[in-house]
Amino acid sequence: MGIRQHFIGIYNPPFFVTLCGLMSGLWACIFSYASLVELAIVCFIMAGLCDLFDGVVARRLKRTKDEKLFGLHLDSVVDAISFGLVPVILLLHTGFTSIVDYFLFSIYCFSATTRLAYFNLLQARSKAMPGYYTGLPVTYSALVLPLAFTVGVFLSDEMAGLLIRASLFLLAFFYVLDVKVKKPGGIFYVIFPVIGASLILFWLIRWSFRT
């Protein structure tokens, strides 16, 4: 049951996990503006980890219908910011500023918001397939793009740019593709955080050497 206070909203454990994800996305933007790309990538990954586990926390609680509906809409709003807009801001401040890049950003944001709205529609109609997503969840950008950036460290600037652009385009494509994606469960809740933690460690080490 959410805690009723003198402010609108429903304040429960899933809310605060989701809020941590939003703050991580915000700080990814702040660090990218400050040209601290390593820390921006770290915060972007952390936003993805928060999104991975807010559902786990929610499922362990007995929630009212209003709490579930509030959580659904809150999660989509935060996802639109953290995994729709934040990647664009991060890329803008790492040199992706050509006309082609702007066009690619437009496609990406269109696909991310469309996928999120469609997900809410399926949930509202109770037509979501148990155990599966329709279209690739936007949260996967917090894994795919940092991996692309990491691999790009060992490539030429030109090849790294192509890899990151290709990753962004493929993410946008699979967001709106009518394909069933199995929801993570079991061992994946170990694998994903381990990969995320490894990437965070890599970028923190790079940042420490730069400073």
What CATH number did the domain enclosing 150 receive?
1.20.120
pLDDT tens track for 60-99: 888 888 888 898 889 999 999 999 999 999 999 999 999 9
Give a yes or no: residue 94 inside a domain. Answer: yes
Residue 48 is assigned to a structural domain of this protein: yes
In Å, how far from its chain's centre is CA 5?
A: 30
Q: How far apart are CA 113 and CA 26, in angstroms?
A: 18
* Percent of the chain residues topping a pLDDT of 70: 95
The residue among 196, 191, 195 whose CA lies nearest residue 42 is: 196
CA 166 to chain centre: 17
Q: How many C-beta atoms surround the C-beta of residue 152 within 10 A?
A: 18
**Structural domain includes residue 34:** yes
The answer to whether position 2 is within a domain reads no
Neighbours of 94 (CB within 10 A): 18
Q: Would 6 be classed as within a structural domain?
A: no
| Domain contains 3 | no
Residue 4 inside a domain? The answer is no
**How remote is the C-alpha of 208 from its chain's centroid?**
25
**Mean of pLDDT over the chain:** 91
Q: How many domains does the chain have?
A: 1
Query: What pLDDT digit, counting tens, does each position of 7-55 carry?
Result: 788 888 889 999 999 999 999 999 999 999 999 999 999 999 999 988 8
Q: Which amino acid does the sequence have at 146?
A: P
Q: Is residue 75 a part of any domain in this protein? A: yes
Is the overall model pTM greater than 0.85, yes or no? yes
Q: Return d(Cα 57, Cα 14) in angstroms, integer.
A: 6
**Cβ proximity of 150 and 202 under 8 Å:** yes
Domain encompassing residue 68: 13-210
Tell me, what DSSP letter sits at residue 3?
B
